[in-house]
Amino acid sequence: MRRWQLQDAKARLSEVVKSSQREGPQEISVRGEAAVVVLSKVEYDRLRKRKPSFLEFLRRSPLVGVDLELERDRTPPRDLRL
């Protein structure tokens, strides 16, 4: 991620914007401390996109309807000294 000082980012805003579209997020610092990140609209939309719930994820699984035969391991646990 490229880093810009605020005064440079203000003076070269169009370059900051174009860089965010070509190279990815651009960080802007104020007095040496990271303050903001400039993202392209495409990247912002990707991050804001609603993610499916866990239940929706499971329902869309390619394994839906597959009959799995699961067998539990019945071996006794090992002895532990506490």
Q: Give the pair of three-digit tokens for residue 70.
A: 């699961």
Domains identified in the chain and CATH numbers = 2-50 (3.40.1620.10)
Q: What is the pLDDT of residue 82?
A: 82
How high is the pLDDT of residue 27? 98
Once rounded to an integer, what is the mean pLDDT over residues 1-13?
97
Average pLDDT over residues 26-54: 96
What DSSP string describes the chain? -EEEEHHHHHHTHHHHHHHHHHT--EEEEETTEEEEEE--HHHHHHHHSPPPPHHHHHHT-TTTT---------PPPPP---
